[in-house]
Amino acid sequence: MNRESWRVSLHGGHSSDFCDHASSLLREMLEAAVAAGYHTFGVSEHAPHSEARFLYEEEIRRGWDVTTSLHNFKTYTALLSEFAEEFADRLIVLRGFEAEVVPTATYIPEMRGYIEQTDASGRRYFDYFVGSVHYVDELVIDGSIPDYRHAVEHCDGIENFAVRYYETVVTMIETLQPDVVGHLDLIRRNLELAGFALSDIETPRIALAIDAALETARAYDAVLDLNTAGWRKGLAHPYPAPALVRRAAHIGVPFCFGDDSHRVSDVGAGIEAARTYLLENGVNSLRILTREGDPFSGEIVKRMVNLVAN
């Protein structure tokens, strides 16, 4: 099996065991990662909801509540560790999670609590984490089209909305200091479906907000997630868009791959095209996380790997 050094995903592995909008079991996701030729696969399940008002409709339909969400996350940490050991001879499994920015008043200590939690031996449960923004002023932006329009209206227009989104990204990076920044321009997902044009988020003011987010990522040594889910959502490009990739490359912000997988068919999907996409936009290397030495208990290391050479 061909396992190129760049074949690493650091955002994905969402499973139906713990995620309401996923449809494959965690074990199935890891088997698929082996089949996809990954040598390292970061699993980054969503952090739990701490308030009922942030529960998704799918969660409510499944009868989940805040207690369920917290219980599922605790179970996830234990099961992921078990699988990481079981799969170690075939796949380096990194134990991660995807942090969130709600509730605004409490997300920082809540997410820091998950980041810093340890097991009985004093070892941190999580090897790394992804910092993502799915909300603007506590309004979800990647759900339904009415939800998206509501968030735009709340911000008094698309330009203000986009600027507020990138400001939230800056705050998230500064306060949580994630290893990976997830799908930097997620606001593109519902943009055109909600009746707006790409040109609406290409104004000089928004460009300044994007630059601030990229400069903050560089200052905190964060890696940007080249997220292939954009293609699956019907967009012309993955996240982020070409102009953002070129700008990030120009100022020296590194990239990693993330398949943002929620089912077996997502695992590894688009990764070859994503490699080509980065090369076409001036990115010749990735920064990966993996283990050195023992594939289960070895030290987590950061490495730059070449995208040009196989």
Q: What does the pLDDT read at residue 309?
A: 65
How far is it, in rounded angstroms, from Cα 290 to Cα 299? 8
- 223 Cβ neighbours under 8 A, 6+ residues apart: 10, 179, 180, 181, 217, 253, 254, 255, 256, 287
What is the value of pTM for the model shown? 0.96
| pLDDT per residue as tens digits for the range 222-272 | 999 999 999 999 999 999 999 999 999 999 999 999 999 999 999 999 999
Q: What does the pLDDT read at residue 310?
A: 55
- Domain chopping of the chain, boundaries: 8-306
Q: Which residues pair with 181 in a beta bridge?
A: 131, 224
| pLDDT per residue as tens digits for the range 20-44 | 889 999 999 999 999 999 999 999 9
CATH class of 8-306: alpha beta
How many angstroms separate the Cα of 55 from the Cα of each of 59, 103, 247, 292? 6, 12, 35, 38
How far is it, in rounded angstroms, from Cα 78 to Cα 84? 10
| pLDDT per residue as tens digits for the range 61-84 | 989 999 999 999 999 999 999 999
- 156 Cβ neighbours under 8 A, 6+ residues apart: none
Q: Which ranges of the chain does DSSP label H, i.e. alpha helix?
A: 26-35, 57-61, 66-86, 107-116, 145-154, 158-176, 204-219, 229-232, 242-251, 271-280
